[in-house]
Structure 1
Amino acid sequence: MKKIKGFCLCGAVSFEVVNAFEKLFLCSCDQCRQITGSAFASNLFVAIEAFEWLEGADNIISYQVPGRDISKSFCQTCGSGVPWVNGDGTKIVVPAGSLSASVNVAERLRIFASEQPAWASELELVSSHLRFP
């Protein structure tokens, strides 16, 4: 199967993953919004065997949300979100924005929509610009 690469912003951390993801979760829970500073986290799930660190694994810091299966791993140089292992150790959670190519994903789900902030509703109706206006 074809693999794609992912990186942090500064390039200190890199990885490779099989481009066959089980699920893409767009999660609007309170913790994912706080951890990303955005309307939702965009996380892909893949089997742990389909993932490999290329560089910089020792440059990663992780924060585990107490009492929840939510974690945030990031490059300690630039702060970019990088993949992390889920709570039971069976999957790698890959921030979709860290990948360098389009992904093949079996299922896409919006979750915790009840916690989505009002300002993030109907984002498809917001005007689009190719660059900063």
Structure 2
Amino acid sequence: MAAFRGSCLCGEIAFEVEGPLDRFLNCHCSRCRKATGTAHSCEVIVRAEALRWLRGEASVARFDLPNARSFATAFCKLCGSPMPHLTRSGREAIIHAGAFDEKLDAAPDRHVHWASRADWYVHGDGLPVED
């Protein structure tokens, strides 16, 4: 089974996810937009036991939104990069796809909370791609 490694921008934190990647989605909810500063979050969801910290776990800060049933986020205390976190139930880990260091050989297969998407977001708008 494939293992996928990831890290934060400053390199303080590194993690590994043992495949398979159970779900891969784009979330358009207003909370994910606020937490990422983007039109949507792009998340990989795996079993909690598939996530393993390689270094820097103590540098991960977690924020659980008060009064929210399930929303949480985690980030590097030094550089602010989004980092993996367990769901409140502890059964799954959520990883922002951009935190992976290597090719995933997978792509998001759905948009969730589509009705909440940003009014300026246009899906498949044909804009140029920059590397």
* TM-score, with structure 1 as normaliser: 0.90
CA distance in 2, matches of 1:86, 1:104: 24
Structure 2: state its 5+ residue gaps: none
Alignment identity in percent? 27
Quote the RMSD (CA, aligned, Å): 1.7
Residues 1:36 and 2:36 are matched in the alignment: yes
Counterpart residue number, 2:10: 10
Structure 1: state its 5+ residue gaps: none
CA distance in 1, matches of 2:69, 2:42: 18
CA distance in 1, matches of 2:25, 2:107: 11
Opposite residue 97 of structure 2, the aligned amino acid is A
Q: Which has the higher helix share?
A: 1
* TM-score, with structure 2 as normaliser: 0.91
CA distance in 1, matches of 2:119, 2:23: 25
CA distance in 2, matches of 1:128, 1:57: 37
CA distance in 1, matches of 2:89, 2:18: 20
Deviation at 1:49, TM superposition (A): 1.5
Counterpart residue number, 2:53: 53
Cα distance, 1:90–1:100 mapped onto 2, change above 3 Å: same
